[in-house]
A and B are shown apart, each in its own frame.
Chain A
Amino acid sequence: MSTATIIAPLSLPLIGFRTRAYFAPVNRTSGTPTLFDPAENVTWNYSKPPAPWIDLGWIRNFTRTAESTITDINAGMPAVVKMQTRQKLAATVAFDFTTWSKLTMALATSSQHMNVLAPGNSSVAIGSGAKAAAALPLQATSTANLLYLPSGTSSALVAGSMVVVDEDYTGQIGFVGNPVSAAYVQSATAVGNDPDYIRRVSFNVGRITSIGSDGGLHLAYPLPGGVPSSTMKVQQIIGLLDREGGSFFQEWSALFVVEGVQGERLCFHYPLLQSCAPAAEMTTSMTQSLQMILPSARFSAFPVIDGNDGEQVICYRTYYPSGVALI
């Protein structure tokens, strides 16, 4: 069926709905970001982005601040501008998440994000959570959605429990955590040789929705790290925690998308963003006694080398016009 065209392409202002945020992990060991390729990803499903991108939903108060500076180079007497040079390349991004979760809390803080593990029998109080109850091994039949403990194992896990699945800490130095680098261990002594340290910071978390008749722990959604390896163990989480302080900086790739009312899209892609502000909240009063509390995030952008011309770039802005827009 042909569609009658009654007008020539229009020059339209961009009127957008809210801004949506997507994040993907950076390989911290190699410093490799997850790139959003605007050519390859023209058919990107914004409702269900391809792995490893994670949809973090609508955000509020999205603000981009370019802090790059350009300076003049003068010559002659009197001095006249001969050329310009880019003196500094920098930018920050700030916004408020509308939800609280492991990932939004982690992104909104400039240090390790920790899982509060269910405690063992230790009576020593620790600000980030007491030593944990022993981790439980998993059967090889476990999948990303379904965890099996060895038969005969008794555990406190019930439907509704939150769990973390990751490896024991056995003296690793460097970035740790699956599938995201969740912390940097400088020495085994620094983390007290705690076998639970990786699970304490890991992003490989889930919530049990039900326990099957065969004892399997059914998860609400697949573990971010996929099928657990044979060396991974499970522990119960009872809360999520971040700290003012610490020496680690979260680093992620980010994509922010404004969907226009005419079908156009404006995408801001920051290949490397590091949290640059301590944990903070935006509070909005709803009534005299009710307030909405949102995690606030602020990031510094870091450069990557563009694959087409070798230029250093900290942000890509892509505009996909609507079908009727003048270009």
Chain B
Amino acid sequence: MQNAKDTFYVALRNRLAILNPARQVEIRGVQRPAILVEEAEAPMKELPNDTFVLRWTAATALEDLPVRLMQLVCEVHYATSGSQPNAGLDRGRAMTEMDRELLDILTPMCAPKMSYTTTPATALATNVFWSEPQLAALETVRDQLLRVASIQVLAFDEPGEA
């Protein structure tokens, strides 16, 4: 299951880096594509602006198949306050841009599953695949616009997989 989560994150991160190289965030002094996994970072008081934050929530297993099929729910949280030069008045446009980027990096809706516990990463046998996102209504908290997109991420639990 961890391989599926890692694969999903890395696939989206790599696609974002190509789609919009300018969308970067500085984490612990390092510039990187502005997408991160919440459970793999230090606890945050509030969502960082202009960054996609992946939060893994529910998980179910389908056991009546030849190979167990794991179904995970990934919530992608993102927020923006717009840009300083525009005094935040462009926050709606900035949110629309993030919506579009998220939809774009989720296509195609599958990626070869990898194990990132080795260097270099090891290719596994199957693909991780996922659903179209369900975009929740926008929320406003002070100067921030916030959105949550929910995605069903599915992967076969391969025999011998850690």
Question: Interface of A with B (CB < 8 Å)?
Answer: 3-8, 10-13, 15, 17, 261-263, 323-324
By the criterion CB–CB under 8 Å, are B125 and A10 in contact? Answer: yes
Residues of B near A7 (CB, < 8 A) are 124-125, 158-161
User: Considering the chains assembled together, what is the distance between the CA atoms of A29 and B160 in angstroms?
Assistant: 59
Interface residues on B, range: 10 to 19
Residues of B near A8 (CB, < 8 A) are 159
Query: Residue A324 contacts which of B69, B109, B110, B126 (CB distance < 8 angstroms)?
Result: B126
Closest CB of chain B to A257's CB: distance in Å?
15
User: Considering the chains assembled together, what is the distance between the CA atoms of A10 and B157 in angstroms?
Assistant: 11
Chain B window 148-162, contacts with chain A (Cβ cutoff 8 Å), 1 for yes, 0 for no: 000000101011110
Query: Residue A12 contacts which of B66, B109, B124, B160 (CB distance < 8 angstroms)?
Result: B66
Chain B window 95-127, contacts with chain A (Cβ cutoff 8 Å), 1 for yes, 0 for no: 000000000000001100000000000111111
User: Considering the chains assembled together, what is the distance between the CA atoms of A43 and B69 in angstroms?
Assistant: 29
Residues of A near B110 (CB, < 8 A) are 261
Closest CB of chain A to B88's CB: distance in Å?
31
Q: B65: CB under 8 A from chain A?
A: yes
Query: Residue B158 contacts which of A6, A13, A17 (CB distance < 8 angstroms)?
Result: A6
By the criterion CB–CB under 8 Å, are A4 and B123 in contact? Answer: yes
Question: Interface of B with A (CB < 8 Å)?
Answer: 65-67, 69, 109-110, 122-127, 129, 154, 156, 158-161
Query: Residue A5 contacts which of B125, B129, B156, B161 (CB distance < 8 angstroms)?
Result: B125
By the criterion CB–CB under 8 Å, are A6 and B124 in contact? Answer: yes
By the criterion CB–CB under 8 Å, are A13 and B66 in contact? Answer: yes
By the criterion CB–CB under 8 Å, are A15 and B129 in contact? Answer: yes
By the criterion CB–CB under 8 Å, are B125 and A17 in contact? Answer: no
User: Considering the chains assembled together, what is the distance between the CA atoms of A321 and B52 in angstroms?
Assistant: 35
Residues of A near B129 (CB, < 8 A) are 15, 261
Residues of A near B66 (CB, < 8 A) are 10-13
By the criterion CB–CB under 8 Å, are B65 and A10 in contact? Answer: no
Chain B residue with Cβ nearest A4: B122
Closest CB of chain A to B119's CB: distance in Å?
13
User: Considering the chains assembled together, what is the distance between the CA atoms of A112 and B60 in angstroms?
Assistant: 52
User: Considering the chains assembled together, what is the distance between the CA atoms of A7 and B124 in angstroms?
Assistant: 8
By the criterion CB–CB under 8 Å, are A12 and B126 in contact? Answer: yes
User: Considering the chains assembled together, what is the distance between the CA atoms of A8 and B126 in angstroms?
Assistant: 12
By the criterion CB–CB under 8 Å, are B127 and A10 in contact? Answer: no
Chain B residue with Cβ nearest A326: B66
User: Considering the chains assembled together, what is the distance between the CA atoms of A314 and B69 in angstroms?
Assistant: 36
User: Considering the chains assembled together, what is the distance between the CA atoms of A12 and B156 in angstroms?
Assistant: 9
Chain A residue with Cβ nearest B159: A7
Closest CB of chain B to A81's CB: distance in Å?
35
By the criterion CB–CB under 8 Å, are A6 and B126 in contact? Answer: no
Chain B residue with Cβ nearest A324: B125
User: Considering the chains assembled together, what is the distance between the CA atoms of A6 and B127 in angstroms?
Assistant: 14
Question: Which 5 pairs show the lowest CB-CB distances between chains A and B?
Answer: A261-B129, A11-B66, A324-B125, A3-B123, A7-B159
Closest CB of chain B to A321's CB: distance in Å?
13
Closest CB of chain A to B131's CB: distance in Å?
10
By the criterion CB–CB under 8 Å, are A13 and B65 in contact? Answer: yes
Closest CB of chain A to B86's CB: distance in Å?
32
By the criterion CB–CB under 8 Å, are B126 and A10 in contact? Answer: yes
Chain A residue with Cβ nearest B120: A1
Most buried by A among B124, B126, B160: B126
